[in-house]
Amino acid sequence: MSLCVFALIASEFMPVSLLTPIGSDLQVSEGMVGQSITVSGAFAVLTSLTITSLAGAMNRKTLLLALTTLMGVSGAIVAMAPDYLTFMVGRAFIGVVIGGFWSMSAAMAMRLVPISEVPKALSIFNGGNALATVIAPPLGSYLGAIVGWRGAFFV
């Protein structure tokens, strides 16, 4: 789960270091590309507020697998986006995953480990978060220079 958190947060912050190449390729301003962070955040909030009622009867493992699959689909949509609107749809999907995952992370930790180990499990989840926050922007920039911004999202 920590690896998924790392990939999720890295995907969330990847556009920060790739504003110029994305904007140039999609023929929009860097500011408009920066709105992709806003759209993912907005969808994260909406999802976090609604997922508990939607997922109440669902198997948590199935839901996490669905969210992980959606994360991959989001990255593919963003990487192959022919235009700005498609790019933003892909970014909205990553927001859904962010809201869904973080809304369920504490509950999942409590189901996966003994109660005495829950703080440790949550710190491991958050370790992936912290690592991705530090590594994602420079890694995105590096990968963008080597394989292009689309390749960076595929990675």
The residue type found at 125 is F
**pLDDT tens profile 138-154:** 888 999 999 999 999 88
Backbone angles phi, psi at 83, to 5 degrees: -150, 175
Rounded to an integer, what distance in angstroms lies between the CA atom of residue 121 and that of residue 40?
26
**Whole-prediction pTM value?**
0.88
pLDDT value, residue 94: 95
**pLDDT tens profile 36-93:** 999 999 999 999 898 887 777 788 788 888 999 999 999 999 999 999 999 999 999 9
* Domains of the chain listed by start with CATH number: 2-154 (1.20.1250.20)
Task: Specify the residue for token string 């990487």.
Answer: 79
Residue 56 burial (CB count, 10 A): 7
Q: Which positions ≥6 away from 150 have C-beta within 8 Å?
A: 25, 79, 80
Provide the 3-class DSSP secondary structure of residue 81.
coil
